[in-house]
Amino acid sequence: MRTHEQTVLHQFDPRAEAYLVSAVHRAGPDLEHAKALVRRTTSPASQALDVGCGAGHLAFTLAPCVGRMVALDPSAAMLATVSGSAAGRGSSQIEVRQGNAESLPFQDGTFSLVCTRYSAHHWTRLEAAVQEMRRVLAPGGHALIIDTLGMEDALADTYLQSLELLRDVSHVRNRSRSEWRPLLQAAGLEEVEYRDWPTRLEFSSWVARMGTPADRVAVIRGLQESAPREVRQALAIEADGSFTLRTALFWARKAA
């Protein structure tokens, strides 16, 4: 029986290229807004860390704004994809490092910017990971957290988490905004700005990207079709199974 960490690697190691070309991951208003924030507040000579970098889209977006970008992920296949793509883009600022969010292999205060995108919902010890992000931040540095949101309504959230877990057994939990805010505060990070945007997940590519087995795809569709009207409306579930959730961006600061 696998541990959760082994499950994450089993899920993502074979799918690095699929995430590199994923339309949901390689673009979005959150990336553009993140780049604008970093350009306004971070020195071009600064050091940055992308935690749970996946195929590297956040690192690629922000690398031109900093002097050094470390892309960290537990998946060697994801890191190989990042390295190959960075070389092709001429992104010499990017270096890769294998590691986990809950135990970052860096000294205190190393980075002016620590960021993560679409990774935190896989972390089993989110509180520890956020504390680690703060630890490796320099005083006055910024944390940028981007992830899909959980639902504030309990019924809709139960359905959302169920759909996510059936699709990807390495899923832990999408946190709602009301769950994220005290996490940041407890870690000693002051929220400076918050934004969120609708993110439509086209069903066939959503399950194909993760290689979800056909029997679980059928269960997902059955769960969607039997969902009460309130849930179907909250998730904007479409006839083909496509649905919409929200992507949130938290921009926070460590005290100087």
Average pLDDT of the segment spanning 86-101 = 86
Express each pLDDT in 17-76 by its tens digit.
777 777 778 889 999 999 999 999 988 889 999 999 998 999 999 999 999 999 999 999
pLDDT tier at 175, thresholds 50, 70, 90: very high
Rounded to an integer, what distance in angstroms lies between the CA atom of residue 39 and that of residue 110? 19
Would you state the pLDDT for residue 13? 66
Report the distance separating Cα 158 and Cα 241, nearest Å: 17
**How far from 219 is each of 23, 171, 212, 253, CA to CA, in Å?**
25, 16, 11, 42
Q: Give the pLDDT confidence of 7-30 residue by residue, as tens digits.
A: 777 788 677 677 777 777 888 999
3-state helix vs strand vs coil in the chain, percent to 5: 50, 25, 30
Instruction: State how far Cα 221 lies from the chain centre.
Output: 25
Which residue matches tokens 């083909």? Answer: 240
